[in-house]
Structure formats: structure tokens, C-alpha cells
Structure 1
Amino acid sequence: MRFISLFVLACSSSLASAADVPGSQDLPLVPRMVDAQIVDYRPPAELERIYPMGSIRKISGQLRFDGQVTARGQMTSVTYELPPEHSATAAFTAAREALQKQGAELLFWCQARDCGESSLWANEVFGNAKLYGADNGQAYLLLRLAAPQDNSLVALYSITRGNRRAYLHVEQFDANAPLGELLPTSATLLRQLKDTGTLDLPRLTGEPQAPWVTLLSRGLNLDTTLRVSVSGAQAEAWRQALVAQGVRSARLDLGEVKDPGLHFELLR
């Protein structure tokens, strides 16, 4: 997976394709996969936006999800149709890694049926019928950009349709007012740890914070078979706090990463 992502990034190009929707352009933060074409583009417009942070479903005609981020601001979106030789998963992974290398923080990440119904994401959340496909062929990610752009969000949604065409949808939302504290979900923290092998939380430089201890302990206890190393200046304090919240001490080793913040590494 990582090899594919690096290959895609190396081959990506910011040059517009002749087949792009007229007047469209890439978002600067997300590299375009080589030979991808822009099939839908929505220029900056002010609106109130709701980004789900949970699996979506419809009950009595109303869209439902466990959490959300709601704000007013400027939104720009780009939808790419991917070339046949590259998958929606590869494009999604390359975009995620590019954003994380720029310091973006994951808030919510779901894949396949854990996201809910693709038809709801396509029509209700993004208002783009091109994004409707098989529920098990989708992935959604919401990220917060690093300071000084930390009042901006980026949403990624990838899908493979029944005709095997693959799409990547990218939205950047710049809020008019400060977004305040936004915490990821426990399942998202676990997904990142299992998918990438590491979980880096550079802002957690001090003593354990209760909300984060709760999130991390719940995430780790979603899969009690995992063992991890914990690194950072306050690693032992965090380890003790996680044990106090029900994570078995045998699952938590002390690591040796010297970078600022709190770091977890999956022990194979």
C-alpha cells in the first residue's frame, strides 16, 4: 500500500488535463494522480457546511450520524475520475498521506460499509450523483489543516462505481470563525494506527489530558489483541493513565521516539 502511494505521488502532476471541466483547477494541498480528469468542479462559495463524523443513515426521512462538524465558510470542491490503471484506494491513500505530511490531523476516517450507504454520501452529503457506488467500495476522511490554517478542513471521499470507474472527491472548507477544539473519534485513531503502523500526536507534549486519555483508551480497547509502544517526554505518565482507563499494561511498552509530542507504534 505504501509503495503504491509513493508511486502515485511521484507521478502526480499539477498540469490540467485537456479533458477537465472548463474553468476547473486542482486544490493546492492535494496532488493530482497522473492522468486523472476533473469531472466536477465547484468554485469557492460561502455556505453552511455539515461534515459527518460517523456512519450515516436515514431515519424517518432525516439524515443521521453520531457526530459532526458544522460551520459557515468558503467551500471549494474537485471531483476526479481516475484512470483505469489506478484504484480509488490508491488515490485516497496518496491524498491522505500528502495532507498528513503537511501536518493535517485526522478527525474521522471510515471505509466500506462502516461509512453507511454510498447513496447518502453521494446525494445528501456531497450533492454529486457521480459519487454513488458500492458501499464496500467507498472511503471517507475528514482532516483539519495545521496552523496557521487550522480553521480549514479537507474532506476526501473515494468510490468505485458498479461500472468499475473510480472517483476521488476533494473538498476544502475555510471557516469564517475559529473552529475551536475538535477531537477525533476513537475508531479513527485505531484505524490510523492499524493502517499506517504509527499514530503521531505532536500537540500532546504535556501531562495526560483526560479527553485524550479516554479517546485513546477506547480506541486501543476496540482491538485488545494489539500491542503498542508509547514514546514522548511524558510517555510513562500517558502509559499509566491508559492503564488506569482499562488498557492492559502488557499491551503498552515504552518506546524511544524523540520527536515532540506523543507517539504510538504498532508492535508486530
Structure 2
Amino acid sequence: MKFQPRKATLFLVAIIFLGSCASKEDVVYFQNAALSGLETQVKESTSSTRFKVDDLISIYVSTLDPEASVPFNLFRGVQEGGMRPEQVDYLVDKEGEIDFPVIGKMEVVGLTPEELRVKLTTSLSDYLKDPIINIRLKNFTVTVLGEVKRPGTYLVNGEQITIFEALGLAGDMTIKGKRKNVLVVREFDGTKVYYRIDLTSNMAAESPVYYLTQNDVVYVEPNKSAITSSALDNRATITVSILSVLITSTVLLLTRN
């Protein structure tokens, strides 16, 4: 069959056109959030750190009598060469409990660090006088996705982080991110809920999701420019691929003649 450059060119243009169309539905995450009936359900601040299943909690008990508090602190390893043994953290199990030395199983899910501190102080009152209890959430992470420079999951040092600080960890939003429609996905009473925040507003600090909680997901939606750019990138990729095939086919046909 004789090779026909004109028909091949028309075919190439048609393929590029059909394959390069991109829309919001092809690019944007969490498009069904509003349809789920859970969007904007967070109407008041839920930013207090509250322990959840699979959280890792560091608890250290001390008193004026160091020997008295030893049974209530778990360590692994043996002290050698001046190196301190590693403290054992507590994992919140599927029942929402931790297994604390001497006391045994203790429900912690839903408690804030301060509430857990009070609960432990009461439970230890039969064993220790005026215990000092330090509590820290070890796996406080937030995930930042979408139009940011470094999307990923970030470990938070401390018990509190704002949405702006989280975006800072991710290198800030790109110029193609929608600043008026940033989405925060949060687990609330065992259910994933969705809340949108306008970061250009001076009321952003009053938002229930201005302060993030552990495992929050921050999603910066791309604007129309980013979606169009995605279509152009797709078109360029398809063009290069088809041209490569076309050139190869042309060379093969010419070498046969």
C-alpha cells in the first residue's frame, strides 16, 4: 500500500486533538466531596489534638523519688557506654486503648493530651505522690497535595500547626493553585469530613480548620490555567509519540521501495 503523507498528517492532527482534551474531571481530586453530604460539616473548631486509633504516644512519668517511677516507664535496650536505652511508646489499639505498666488497659481514644494527663494522674495516685507526666503525640503528620511545590506527608513537631505552616512545609502554593478554595479533609468522630477555606480572606484564622489536626489532608485545587497546561502537556506527549511512530513507519516504507 502506497504511503500517503497528507492522510497521515490529517490522522495525526485528529489523534492529537482527541487525546489532548483535559477537563476538571480529569485533574481535580475529591470531586464528590459535596455529593457525599459531608462537605462543610465541620462548623466549629476541632483542632485540639485528640488521640485516635493507631496513634503513637510517648508517656514519661517522673517523681521526686526516681526509683518509685521506674515501673511506670518502659525502655528497650541496656545502658552501655553512657548511651541511654530507648523509651518505648504506646500504640493506640483498635479498641482505642493503650496497655500501661501496672495499670493495664486504659481507654485513650478521643482524649486530649491534657485529659489523658489528668486520667493518668488519678490512676497513679495509689502508687506515686505528685507524679509529673509528660505526654507527646509521636505520629502527628499532615499531608499536603495539589498545587504546592513539594507535595507530601510531613511530621509535625509540637501539638499544633496552622494551615499556613503546613503549606510552608510543602514549599508554599504554586501560582496555579486556587487560594480561595483550599480543601481540608479531616477525620471527625470516625468519619471523613471536608471543609473549604479561603486563604485570601482576613477571616481565615477564624476557620475551624485554620489549625490542623493529626492526619489532616490539605488539598490545593489547580486553577483553570493549570488544567489547560495539563492539556498542553498531554498534547505534547501524544505529538511526540505519534511523530515517532509516523517517522519510523515512513522510514520503513521508504526503505522497502
TM-score of the pair, normalised by structure 2: 0.25
TM-score of the pair, normalised by structure 1: 0.24
Q: Greater strand share, 1 or 2?
A: 1
Larger relative contact order (CA 8 Å, sep ≥ 6): 2
